[in-house]
Amino acid sequence: MKSLDFDFIIIGSGLAGLVAAYHAADHGTVALISKSELDVSNSYHAQGGIAVAIDKDDRPENHFQDTLTAGRGLCDHDAVDILVREGQQCIQEIISCGMEFDRNENGELFLGLEGGHTHRRILHAGGDATGKLMTSFMLKKVLGKKNITTFEYTVAVRILVDDGHCYGVQALQFVSGENILFKGRATVMATGGLSRLYTRSTNPHTATGDGVALAWRAGVQMADMEFIQFHPSALSLPGEDAFLVSEAVRGEGARLLDVNGERFMEGIHPLAELAPRDVVAAAIFRQMKKTDASYVYLSLKHLDAKYIRGRFQSIDAHLSRLEIDMTEDLIPVAPAAHYMVGGIRTDLWGQTNMPGLYACGEVASTGVMGANRLASNSLLECLVYGKRAIEKARRNLQEPKKTDNTPAPIFLNKETDEEFLSVKNELADLMNSHVGILRNHEGLISAFEEVNKKSLKYNAPSNDYNHHKIKNLIDICRLIIQSALVRKESRGGHIREDHPEESAEQTKHIIQQLGKEIQYEPVRITK
């Protein structure tokens, strides 16, 4: 088995991984590992923008409070404070490096408004192509660094652990079928989310939670896995993917109507369509049940057509291909799994409970997101915490491990492709039915039992990559379900029909770790 040595190993090429690789390159050699092409990630598909309090009428304190409000009492105050304050500096740095955000006719930065924000603070690039342009910008910067070596179509299959320390990862190269040991003095997980675990998802097909499963199996702590954010407005057409219609569309005044043409958000929340995502998604879901429909409508008929087409060029182009005029036609939308709010538990510097292993981006639970992510905070978290993870890692680089332990190889096997797809689809349907927007004890227990049945079938050790992926999916489903069963309340992205109210006693993080009982961690409150 080939072995390659680097100072830093970065797993994932979304914005968090690219930021981490860029900063790590100033302190040593870097391996950047991507499961697919380097530009395939949730970050790349982010339409809404990036939130930062830079307007003269806005302050970090306002952004801080809006984040806490959206997070429903589960945000760690110190983590949010770091985000909103250091985020300003990170934005200025990326602009000074040449990143261009949209500006108005006076040359001033254009600031949009999205759900949960009390001020216009959302920076955009290319209208609704912010993620694409930011990711492409950082990728160009990364490719210009001589001591970064990139590995596309290479998937991490095992975290290498010796005496409780991470010393790298085992990876499988899809093109050659070769197993590679990437040995490093610091390893950073930036593998993104897991929302492809659900039938309807806005995520690319690569977002299957690999990083969560690998870290869990290695003994790393997970936090708040019950909180899955469903984006309220994903296109709902037969035979079409759940294409995301950005929240910024509602920020510009779009209205939600049920199938009878009735506007319904005004009586549910003071901010109506601009309420936090958990509120809007749940309201849409309930309205769909009430009207016996599989979607609601998004209407922009009352808005300036020329402005809307210019502001949302990518969305307009996509809908036009489907013969939908976003300025004249009602757009059918329904919630879709969008963002993993919890994840690998880290400290304020991206450090996990395992020495040598760090995490940043969507895969990490830094304490910023609480029970519900505030819109457009995710790209900012990538900038801030991707950089902080490297700041911590470079100061704590481990001595290279001289272990002779060689793990068993993982092999590609085309004959089990259909088996994997079948199990994946069964699990996705199960999660959608019982662990979706609305949950209850009976449904969660039913899902847990079904997942355990699957687990028994795939318990035996296997060198088959498809079986490895099935085990990953099973582990992740079980983590989410177990955490959802324990949290007997409704809060943020976790809504229990049998426990509809928030419980003050459950204002705490749920921590899961392999081989240990569930732990509870208090929310960190700034004094």
Q: Which of 338, 4, 19 has its CA nearest to residue 193?
A: 338
- Structure-block tokens of residue 303: 């808005």
Ranges of beta strands (E only) in 117-208 are 122-123, 148-151, 154-162, 165-173, 179-189
Residue at token pair 């991984």: 17
424 Rama class: left (phi>0) / alpha (psi -120 to 50) / beta: alpha
* DSSP for residue 401: P
Question: 217 near 475, Cβ under 8 Å?
Answer: yes
Question: 43 near 15, Cβ under 8 Å?
Answer: yes
Q: Of residues 121, 158, 200, 277, which has the active-site annotation? A: 277
Bridge partners for 183 per DSSP: 5, 168
Q: Which of 509, 519, 468 has its CA nearest to residue 225?
A: 509
- Rounded Cα distance between 400 and 386, Å, is 23
On the 0-12 / 13-18 / 19+ scale of CB atoms within 10 A, 42 is buried
**For residue 398, what are the contacts with CB-CB under 8 A and spacing of at least 6?**
165, 167, 185, 186, 355, 356
Q: Is 94 strand, coil or helix?
A: helix
Percent of the chain as helix, strand, coil, to the nearest 5: 35, 20, 40
Bridge partners for 226 per DSSP: none
- Compute CA 363 distance to the chain's CA centroid, rounded to the nearest angstrom: 6
3-state secondary structure 279-309: HHHHHHHHHHHHCCCCCEEEECCCCCHHHHH
- Structure-block tokens of residue 384: 């801030």
- Structure-block tokens of residue 410: 């993982």
Strand 222-223 with 148-151, pairing: unpaired
Question: 31 near 8, Cβ under 8 Å?
Answer: yes
Question: 384 near 213, Cβ under 8 Å?
Answer: no
* DSSP for residue 135: H
**For residue 205, what are the contacts with CB-CB under 8 A and spacing of at least 6?**
196
Question: Is residue 277 annotated as a catalytic residue, yes or no?
Answer: yes
Write out the H or E segment, with its range, that includes residue 133. helix 130-143
In one letter, which amino acid is 248?
A
- Rounded Cα distance between 214 and 159, Å, is 6
Q: Which of 187, 197, 189 has its CA nearest to residue 225?
A: 197
- Structure-block tokens of residue 161: 């652990």
**Residues with active-site annotation:** 277
